[in-house]
Chain A
Amino acid sequence: MNSKSFWGWSSTEALREGGESGGFVTSFLESIVGKYDNILAVRKTGTVFEGAVMSIDSKEDAIKTQGALHAVCMELSHYIKKGERTAIVLKPCDARAVIENMKRNHVERENVLLIGLNCGGTLPPVDTMRFIDNYFELAPEDIVKEEIAKGKIIFKTTSGKEFWKTIDEIEEEGFGRRENCRYCDVKIPSMCDIACGNWGTPAGKNITFVEVFTENGNNALEQAVREGFINVGEPSEKMIAVRSKINGIMKKMAGGWNKRIIGRLRNMPNEERLAYIKNVLSPCIACYACRKACPVCKCGDDCKCMQMDPDDSLPISIFHSIRLLHLTESCIGCGNCSDVCPVDIPLAHLHQLFARNYEKKTGYKPGMSIEDIPPLSRGDLPEGY
């Protein structure tokens, strides 16, 4: 189906005030409680820098998930179990991971309702705590709310004060969004059933812009409206244009960072790049954390990369070369591998370097649609043979 756009907000006044952008997602989750085996979302646990995965069983549970958590970078996709009807709230990279898992038959498309959130990037929690300590002299416990809006990161304290700085300023100083988020170019999760966000909503009004991509999402939304959980309205043409303009700006910014981070690696002479890759991989302690954190890596303990002797004396260990190979056609750039590496290897940059070069050559972008078959799995003959 063609995508449809709505403005949506919660019909409960308390949720509309308490939630982010009109509490649409919270109310939507309330409306589907009991209709799925498993409803997964992230809830707050104390501070805004900390979250935990939660399976929603009741309406009270749904309320616990309200509010944005930019500084919680969790990967939820691996909680989806095969054969379970699951609804899940996710950011674009998680959604891409789910799509990749569907291609590998770990998740069934018809069993899953993907509720996507527009994402301009996530913040690394510890660095952000350090940042607010350095620049605003605030304790992390004092922050009750954080927000990314109009190119600024805004922190609200317990006393109701607001502190903000522009993203550009922060990032020039080495803080700000995670590096992989800066060059990520998927901001609206078009592979989901519905995508929600505050881009394209009139200022000052608590409203969510909802784009529905599939029949499944449309049915769920219609039902939620019918049962009185949410109200919807028709967005104006002007605001639809505003939304795509914001998306364009974000993508342009991502392009700039792509040039700075990935482009730097790409433009190195061959020998230098090889030496760089050898060098950054050399401190590896073979803990396999990158593999564990990777949302598209699903072979389990029987994977051939685990069978390889960590003791080999090769310039690049077989473990890493297999992972580089596999992720060349499936890396979604979520950055989890870099986050969890105990010796700070910039793995996400390496995998993205390979994946983006391959994307340039073949036009295949992993995780965008379940219909896109990776070139290596195609049975056809490419041109020129």
Chain B
Amino acid sequence: MSFEPKILAFLCNWCSYGAADMAGTSRLQYPSNIRIIRFMCSGRIDPNFVIEAFLRGADGVMITGCHIGDCHYIDGNYKTVHRYEFLKEYLDTLGIGSERLTLEWCSAAEGMKFSQKVTEFTERIRKLGPSPIKGDEQ
């Protein structure tokens, strides 16, 4: 059986979840590999959520949020940026590889961009293969 990546997406409530909604209502196609978890703000995403996702078998993690300056909570996504940079370094050191994590900004009107980015990211993970931290059995 060919490898189907499992991708976990953390979406912010105000913009990127709207973008996903938009993609749905506009009947845009994107791979069904992503599982979406909605957060009130991308600034709520604890680095540990991402690590736990990998430990529990995700092959890739996608964080999306409002564009810089558009955050519903003014500067929530500034924190996301710092955490993203931190996590990239952490994943490289751990040996999972920072390329399995991505950060994208999607506003509520960017359904097209959302579906595009998901497709791109899924393809990237598909090329990379299963996450090295997963046991042999999963």
Contact = CB atoms under 8 A, between A and B. Distances in A.
Contacts of A379: 75, 78
B51 interface: yes
A272 B132 CA distance: 10
A376 B94 contact: no
Interface in B27-41: none
Interface stretch (B2-10, B85-93, B106-114): B85-93
- Chain A interface SS verdict (over half): helix
A220 B50 CA distance: 49
A271 B132 CA distance: 7
A322 B95 contact: no
Contact of B97 (A270, A328, A361): A270
B86 A376 contact: yes
Contacts of A358: 86, 89-90, 93
A354 B132 CA distance: 18
Contacts of B134: 315
Given A314-B55, A325-B51, A354 B86 contact: no
A270 B92 CA distance: 8
Contacts of B86: 328-329, 358, 375-376
B85 A382 contact: yes
Contact of B56 (A314, A378, A385): A314
A162 B29 CA distance: 80
Contact of A357 (B51, B83, B93): B93
A251 B89 CA distance: 25
A385 B89 CA distance: 17
B78 A321 contact: no
B68 A270 contact: no
B67 to A, nearest CB: 10
Contacts of A272: 95
A318 B93 contact: no
A385 B52 contact: no
Interface string A317-349: 010011011001100000000000000000000
B89 A318 contact: no
A354 B89 CA distance: 8
Interface residues of B, number: 27
A132 B81 CA distance: 53
A287 interface: no
Contacts of A361: 85, 89
Interface centre among B79, B81, B83 (most CB of A within 10 A): B81
B82 interface: yes
Given A274-B95, A274-B132, A318-B52, A376 B83 contact: yes
- Chain B interface SS verdict (over half): helix
B90 A325 contact: yes
Contact of B133 (A316, A375, A385): A316
B48 A322 contact: yes
A14 interface: no
Contacts of A322: 48
Given A315-B135, A381-B81, A274 B55 contact: no
A380 interface: yes
Interface centre among B75, B89, B134 (most CB of A within 10 A): B89
A68 to B, nearest CB: 36
A194 B93 CA distance: 36
B85 A375 contact: yes
A329 B89 CA distance: 11
Contacts of B55: 314-316, 318, 321
A273 interface: yes
A380 B133 CA distance: 33
A353 interface: yes
A272 B134 CA distance: 14
B5 to A, nearest CB: 18
Contacts of B83: 376
B103 to A, nearest CB: 9
B47 interface: yes
Top 10 nearest A-B pairs (CB, nearest first) are: A274-B95, A270-B95, A273-B95, A314-B55, A357-B93, A321-B51, A361-B89, A354-B93, A271-B132, A376-B82
Interface of B: 47-48, 51-52, 55-56, 68, 75, 78-79, 81-83, 85-86, 89-90, 92-97, 132-135
Given A274-B96, A278-B133, A315-B133, 20 more contacts: A270-B95, A270-B96, A270-B132, A271-B132, A273-B93, A274-B132, A314-B55, A314-B56, A324-B90, A325-B90, A328-B86, A357-B93, A362-B89, A376-B79, A376-B82, A381-B81, A382-B81, A382-B82, A382-B85, A385-B81
9 contacts: A270-B96, A274-B94, A274-B95, A328-B86, A328-B89, A354-B94, A358-B89, A358-B90, A376-B86
